[in-house]
Structure 1
């Protein structure tokens, strides 16, 4: 791994054009945004602060399966309240460790005030030559769960 002072930071690799949704918006709006943007998850905000994560699976399992009205059910009722985050200035090595420990494939990247500023995925890590081996090992362990 690179020395600490030369190590690549999460902010250099993360996806910066982060799509988000407000907690009070209806599930239908979230599903339409996911479809339009071809994404499977949306960080959920309330007053600019990160309060949860909504995935396409949340919509299918927690909402549709229970017969909730997608036009009136707010995102906050089906989102996952626990969001795994990483600081924008942390190293890629730290991101790998967090992904492995928390058994997640993506991290919401936050600034010093916990405002989401990007997203980092295991796929992103695999694009960095010195990280390829590590990302593959993390993915292998995640698939065993």
Structure 2
């Protein structure tokens, strides 16, 4: 199975210059915990609910004036939609991440693959659990 068959395709994104509050509201409305960050249509980072907590709220920054760019994680682990689930699992484990942004040839995000997505594939449930266990051990 290829990642493109399993990934979440209805991808929510946010622009780097938007305020953190807008990102938090989008996460709440969409019931998600992360947003790929774009600038000029290109992927430049990832913002998670943890980033908002640790890099904005905990430091007393105003979410109305703090930009997503200031709170995001600039390093984003990506993969191609044609990659296999085995490749995705190895990448998640090697890079110690729970989600991968799936990008096209121009590095534009087209989907997201999470450990939760892997766990929906019956033969992958055990593998997803093993990856999660190794992430917690590190």
Identify the TM-score tier after normalising by the shorter chain: over 0.9
Provide the C-alpha distance between the structure 2 equivalents of 1:129 and 1:65, rounded to a whole number of angstroms: 39
Residue 29 of structure 2 corresponds to 36
- Runs (4+) of structure 1 exceeding 4 A deviation are none
Per the TM alignment, residue 99 of structure 1 is displaced from its structure 2 partner at its CA by 0.5
Q: Secondary structure at the match of 1:66?
A: coil
Instruction: For 2:132 and 2:59, locate their aligned partners in 1 and report how far apart those are by CA, in whole Å.
Output: 31
What SS does the corresponding residue of 1:50 show, helix, strand or coil?
strand
Map of 1:1-145 to 2, 5 A cutoff?
8-145=1-138
Structure 1: gaps (5+ residues)? 1-7
Task: Please give the secondary structure, in 1, of the residue aligned with 2:83.
Answer: coil
In the alignment, the residues of structure 2 paired with residue 133 and residue 56 of structure 1 have an alpha-carbon distance, to the nearest angstrom, of 27
Task: Name the residue aligned to 1:5.
Answer: none
Q: In structure 1, what is the Cα distance between the partners aligned to 2:68 and 2:76? A: 15
The RMSD of aligned alpha carbons is 0.9
Q: TM-score, normalised by structure 2?
A: 0.96
